Copies of this chain bind each other. A is one copy, B any other.
Amino acid sequence: MRTVTPMPKLASNPFKKHQHSQCIRDALHSAEGLCKKNGFRLSNVRKRVLELIWESHQALGAYAILEQLGKEGVKPAPPTVYRALDFLLEAGLVHRINSLNAYIGCNHPKDSHHGSYFLICQHCHIVAEIHDKRIDEEVASLAERERFSISERALEISGTCQHCQETQHAR
């Protein structure tokens, strides 16, 4: 197919200019691989929802997805989208950004995350998924001190990205 990339998945920084069509291709390709491997069924709806989410690095709401699907044919009812989202969340292909009620594509769907953390620019609305072992460790140690057994964690950091700082969109 395509040239074999040297680094299997070093996600590009979504705040910086980059060849985004490559993000989309990678995401779709790795989603297909993961589904095949685990016996998940990546149906048309599910795949299309994933594609829509990956069209940008901005988090996309369920009803925005619905809207888009509507423009491409018959507009489905909300459960269709929410079911696709549930599947994608379960499969680890997307993340929900709780502070936005919206969804973004996971940038490393193969790894089982310990923790993934999000930088959310309030100006351009781009969301970057970050992995940070040291935060993982501090969180684990915090939980251990409190004898708390972790099942999920979500760190959402809102602010202004470098690009928006430079272009004075920041106030």
Give the residues in chain B near A160, CB-CB below 8 Å: 148-149, 151
For chain A, residues 86 to 143, give those with C-beta under 8 angstroms from any C-beta of chain B.
98-99, 117, 119, 121-122, 128, 130, 132, 134-135, 138-139, 142-143
Among residues of B, the one whose C-beta sits closest to the C-beta of A96 is B99
This protein's copies in its complex: 2
Are A147 and B165 in touch, CB under 8 angstroms?
A: yes
Are B138 and A162 in touch, CB under 8 angstroms?
A: no
Among residues of B, the one whose C-beta sits closest to the C-beta of A131 is B142
Give the residues in chain B near A148, CB-CB below 8 Å: 15, 119, 121, 157, 159-162
Are B157 and A139 in touch, CB under 8 angstroms?
A: yes
Give the residues in chain B near A121, CB-CB below 8 Å: 148
Are B150 and A158 in touch, CB under 8 angstroms?
A: yes
Q: Complex Cα distance A148/B148, Å? A: 31
Among residues of B, the one whose C-beta sits closest to the C-beta of A160 is B149
Given A152-B158, A152-B159, A154-B155, 19 more pairs with CB closer than 8 A:
A98-B99, A98-B156, A99-B154, A119-B146, A122-B151, A130-B146, A132-B138, A132-B142, A143-B157, A146-B161, A148-B157, A148-B159, A149-B170, A151-B160, A153-B155, A153-B157, A154-B156, A155-B155, A155-B156
18 contacts between A and B (CB under 8 A): A13-B146, A15-B146, A98-B99, A98-B154, A98-B156, A99-B154, A119-B146, A121-B148, A132-B138, A135-B135, A135-B139, A138-B138, A147-B165, A148-B157, A150-B159, A151-B160, A153-B157, A154-B156
Please list the 7 inter-chain residue pairs (A to B) with the smallest Cβ-Cβ separation, ordered nearest first.
A147-B162, A98-B98, A150-B159, A155-B155, A151-B159, A152-B158, A149-B160
